[in-house]
Amino acid sequence: MFKQAASIIREADTFVITAGAGMGVDSGLPDFRGDEGFWNAYPAYSRLGISFVECANPQHFVADPSFGWGFYGHRTNLYRDTIPHDGFHIIRRWIERSSADYFVVTSNVDGQFQKAGYDDDRILEVHGSIHWLQCQKPCSDAIWTNDEVIRIDERTMRAREPLPRCSGCGLVSRPNILMFGDWSWLPDRTHVQESAFERFLSEHAEHSIAVIELGAGCAIPTIRATSERIGWDLEHATVIRINPREPEIKAPHISLSCAALEGLRKIDEMLQESITKPCPVPPLPCQAAPAQ
């Protein structure tokens, strides 16, 4: 399977990288797989008996902003401090080596692809980004960068004043992330990214596309559905799904049951071998140059 994945990557002139929370795990970030996964990452919420779905609710920024910013402020700081693992760079080297075109589609809000040097214009963040803010109401369509210093009491998971505020109306602002039961999310930034991605797909519809899917879970299947749509709709596209617990995908697409970094390293080793292996054709015997 790894060999097959390596040959698809070798032949590809276009890459679509689709990533869920599992892509961050090898950088030390938690995924939120089930309540147990979430509570392991955030024991304070386990004590309070609050699930990920309950935490990721925009109402907190209205009713109890310090609680809302406790969760999102902690994650802002965590993602700012995280160094993307080598898997991000391995894929970039593949892209650069074959001068391929690429696009990243992720449900992660952590900005790790930008941090690893991927071009901001080639990233679709389907659920928005923690590094951008908007008004909680919202009082306008404004979306601005999150340059705030946010201090958290990790024991209570509550943010300390001063909290980030909207300069238009003075209310506490919130991350420009699509939360659960969210009617106030401003989708404009994500819509611009979506249009760029759809343009990219139509321009590359006839190309050899390697879709590399990393750590996308079944619970919120947006990313898996995106990979599968490309894999089934475009004739020359093959999906390589890398996931240690939920790797299933139908042939001819490829399922690799391992962690993202491990899988990318293995494929990379195979690609290196195929580049450095001596040519199997025996050299021609030495001949004197014919006299002209």
Ligand X SMILES: NC(=O)c1ccc[n+]([C@@H]2O[C@H](COP(=O)([O-])OP(=O)(O)OC[C@H]3O[C@@H](n4cnc5c(N)ncnc54)[C@H](O)[C@@H]3O)[C@@H](O)[C@H]2O)c1
Binding-site partner at residue 268 among Zn ion, ligand X, none, CB < 5 to 8 Å by type: none
Nearer to Zn ion among residue 184 and residue 257 (C-beta): 184
Q: How far is the CB of 36 from Zn ion (least distance, A)?
A: 37
> With binding defined as CB under 6 A, does residue 227 bind ligand X?
no
Q: Which does 174 bind (CB under 5 to 8 A by kind): ligand X, Zn ion, none?
A: none
Q: How far is the CB of 135 from Zn ion (least distance, A)?
A: 3
Q: How far apart are CA 89 and CA 115, in angstroms?
A: 11
- Of the candidate residues 63, 83, 169, 225, the single one contacting Zn ion (CB under 5 A): 169
Minimum CB–partner distance for residue 170 and Zn ion (Å): 7
The residue within the footprint of ligand X, chosen from 65, 68, 70, 217 (CB under 6 A), is 217
Compare residues 108 and 190 and give the one whose CB is closer to ligand X.
Answer: 108
Radius of gyration of the chain from its Cα atoms, rounded to whole angstroms: 22
Residue from 210, 239, 260, 264 that binds ligand X (CB under 6 A)?
A: 260
Residue 24 interacts with, from ligand X, Zn ion, none (CB under 5-8 Å by kind):
ligand X
Q: Does 24 engage in binding with ligand X (CB under 6 A)?
A: yes
Told to check if 243 binds ligand X by CB under 6 A, we report yes
**DSSP assignment string, the chain:** -HHHHHHHHHH-SEEEEEE-THHHHTTTPPP--HHHHHHHH-HHHHHHT--HHHHS-THHHHH-HHHHHHHHHHHHHHHHHPPPPHHHHHHHHHHHHTT-EEEEEE---S-HHHHTT--GGGEEETTEEEEEEEESS-SSS-EEE------EETTTTEEPSSPPB-TTT-SBEEEEE--TT-SS---HHHHHHHHHHHHHHHHTTTS-EEEEEES--SSSTHHHHHHHHHHHHSTTEEEEEE-SS-----TTSEEE-S-HHHHHHHHHHHHHHHHHSPPSSPPPPP-PPPP-
Q: Which range of residues in 32-40, 128-136, 177-185, 198-206 is near Zn ion by CB under 5 A? A: 128-136
Q: Which residue is nearest to ligand X (CB)?
A: 22
Q: For ligand X, give the closer residue by CB, 29 or 91.
A: 29
One character per residue 133-152, x = contact with Zn ion (rule: CB under 5 A): --x---x-------------
- Report the sign of the C-alpha dihedral through residues 228, 229, 232, 236, in that order: negative
By CB under 6 A, residue 259 contacts ligand X: yes
* CB distance 131 to 77 below 8 Å: no
By CB under 6 A, tell whether 196 contacts ligand X.
no
Judged by CB under 6 A, the number of residues near ligand X is: 27
**Cβ neighbours of residue 8 under 8 Å, at least 6 residues apart?**
210, 238, 240, 254
Q: Select 142 or 205, whichever has its Cβ closest to Zn ion.
A: 142
Binding to ligand X (CB under 6 A) within 129-148 occurs at none
> What residue ranges bind Zn ion (CB under 5 A)?
135, 139, 166, 168-169
> What residue ranges bind ligand X (CB under 6 A)?
20-22, 24-26, 29, 31-33, 107-110, 127, 214-217, 219-220, 243-246, 259-260
